[in-house]
Structure 1
Amino acid sequence: MASLKALKIRIGSVKSTQKITKALNMVAASKLRRAQQNATAARPYSERMTDVVASLASRITPGPQSPKLLAGTGKDDTHLIIVATSDRGLAGAFNSNIVRAARRKADDLIAQGKTVLFYIVGRKGRPVIQRLYGRSIIAQYDTSEMKNPTYADAQRIAKDIVDRYATDGIDVVHLAYANFRSTLVQEPTVEQIIPVAPRRPSDEAAEPVAAHKAAAPAAVEYEPDEEEILADLLPRNIAVQVYRALLENQAGFYGSQMTAMDNATRNAGDMINRLSIQYNRTRQAVITTELIEIISGAEAL
């Protein structure tokens, strides 16, 4: 049986932990609202940009003169997976769920005989990927100084990805991140961002208006010039998708951290109650033992 002193020390330790988890819960809750607003505001532009570029991809005939970011390299041998996680923990399974989704995608591709490489954004995804896939990590973008994601950060990541796509023999690029749904639900997502995937029939069936527009035989006109427009539009689309992923991750991280710290605070309270009951029972047993010893001694006299 634990001594009274040991129980008292443990109760004090759990109370200190409870104060920390409660403070982290309050901080995450205060930052979640702004992060959620940013993620929600970025979605319409990102989705519309995807639709526009996907519509262009469905209208081109792949060839040597086609932009690689739009039509691809003509091969499907080497895949790059961008694993975007946070730099901090104490957020439940938030980071591990993103890594798990990336691993499932990588394992599927490897089973098909493809070569898989990884580009790490954030620190929490690297240890597992490095342990399982060794030298497949080609680069890591440091986000430790990134308090709030900006479009400039996304542009730098996108430029690095586009440069590596052009020089490192990469055929397809996927982006793994957590799609924020609510404080309790962050959906791990793996999307192909290079080359742009044309609209699928199922997507058109789900959106009758978009399907009608996609089915129209109208040609696409470029002003001032097709090459100039696509040279600006395609890298910008990559940056927009990366920016959205960073914003979704930030909202998902704070939502997951708020939930995790709330659960931790409640668990600490339950532990304090159990330890307090054990402390009181132990104290009562000590008092009873001392009384019995006093009474026994008095009777012996």
Structure 2
Amino acid sequence: MATLREIKQRIAGVEKTQQITRALKMVAAVKFRKAQQSIVQARPYAYRLINIMGHVAYDIDRSLHPLLSVREPQKIGFVIITADQGLCGSFNANIIRRAEAEIRNNADKQVSLILIGRKGADYFSRRNYEIIGKYTRFFKDLTFRQADEIEDLVRELYLEQKLDRIYLLYNEFKSALRQDVMVEQLLPVTPILPERCTGYVEFAFEPDAIKFLDILIPRYLNVAIWHVLLESYASEMGARMTAMEYATENAENIIHNLTMEYNKLRQEKITAEILEIVSSGEAMKATR
């Protein structure tokens, strides 16, 4: 059985841990509000541009531009977005688990990975995977320039036919309590059928389709990548805030249980001491 001193030390240790989790929750809450605001502002433009790109891919002759060309998918690339840090529940584990499932589903193909976030980079680097891009310490100062950097890489890999399909794996933000793991094809652009959308119209290109695509496709890639980075970051902050809230509550429960145990043991000691005093008094009376 633990002594009073040991229980007191455990209570002090849990209280220090609770202070840390409470501070991490407050920091995550501030970052979460900013990230949530950013993703809410970015979604309308991103969704509209992705929708337009899908319409164009359906309407146009895909042989007009190399980034629209469809090849036999023998070389697959996955852009896997995790966090740079832990303490965010199952956020990283869900992405890694889904990525490994997708890799197994494409076991008959050559699979390459582009890793964004230290947690995913650490995990896959220790295993036998082909890694062609790695970005760590990525979310400390997230800017659109970083999306440009990734866009340059994936566009070059596709144009040089080093990859035939490129997919994005990320956590889509739903709420602080919910993040959905998504797998979306980035290249080649997936056409959107007219019957699957509202407000469909045929496009007329000026001065010509090729010049238009030279402008539209890079912008589409930039915005699509920037959008998933914001989704992932907002999801990470929501997951961390929730995880730290649960950790703080669990620490409170542990402190309560330890305090009850401490008080019970202390009461037992006091009762034993009182009994010893009473017994000694009775013994002294008996000897007189």
Fold match (TM-score > 0.5): yes
Report if the CA contact (8 A) 2:116-2:134 is conserved: yes
Q: Count how many residue pairs are aligned between Structure 1 and Structure 2.
A: 284
Question: Counterpart in 2 of 1:286?
Answer: 269
Q: CA deviation at 1:145?
A: 5.6
Partner Cα separation in structure 2 for residue 182 and residue 148 of structure 1: 22
Tell me if structure 2 keeps the 8 A contact 1:178–1:188: yes
Give 1:59 shift: 2.1
For residues 277 and 271 of structure 2, the distance between their equivalents in structure 1, rounded to whole angstroms, comes to 10
- Give the 5 Å matches for 1:1-301: 1-63=1-63, 66-72=64-70, 74-110=71-107, 113-132=108-127, 134-142=128-136, 144=137, 146-167=139-160, 169-200=162-193, 204-205=195-196, 207-210=197-200, 213=201, 218=202, 220-301=203-284
1:48-89 Cα deviation digits (max 9, x unpaired): 1111111121123444xx3222223x2211110000111011
CA shift digits 1:181-220 (9 cap, x unpaired): 111111111100100011147xx34x3433xx3xxxx4x4
Gap runs ≥5 in structure 1: none
Q: Is the 8 A contact 1:57 1:71 kept in 2?
A: no
Superposed displacement of residue 227, structure 1: 2.6
Paired with 2:76 and 2:126, the residues of 1 have a C-alpha distance of 19
* SS of equivalent residue, structure 1 residue 26: helix
Mapped contact 2:113–2:129 kept (Cα < 8 A): no
Amino acid in structure 2 at the alignment position of 1:250: Y
Q: Which moved more, 1:165-174 or 1:180-189?
A: 165-174
1:188 alignment partner, SS class: strand
Give distance in 2, aligned partners of 1:148 and 1:127: 20
Q: What amino acid sits opposite 1:279 in the alignment? A: Y
CA distance in 1 between counterparts of 2:225 and 2:138 reads 17
Cα RMSD after superposing both structures: 1.8
Gap regions ≥5 residues in structure 2: none
Q: Which amino acid aligns with 1:263?
A: Y
C-alpha distance in 1 between matches for 2:47 and 2:32: 22
Q: CA deviation at 1:164?
A: 2.2
In the alignment, the residues of structure 1 paired with residue 219 and residue 97 of structure 2 have an alpha-carbon distance, to the nearest angstrom, of 28
For the 8 Å contact 1:174–1:194, the answer to whether it is kept is: yes
CA contact (8 A) 1:149 1:243 kept: no
| TM-score normalised by L of structure 2 | 0.92
Change (3 A) 1:208 1:146: closer
Q: Is the 8 A contact 2:15 2:255 kept in 1?
A: yes
Q: Is the CA contact 1:58–1:199 (under 8 Å) kept in the aligned structure 2?
A: yes
TM-score (norm 1): 0.88
SS at match of 2:180: strand
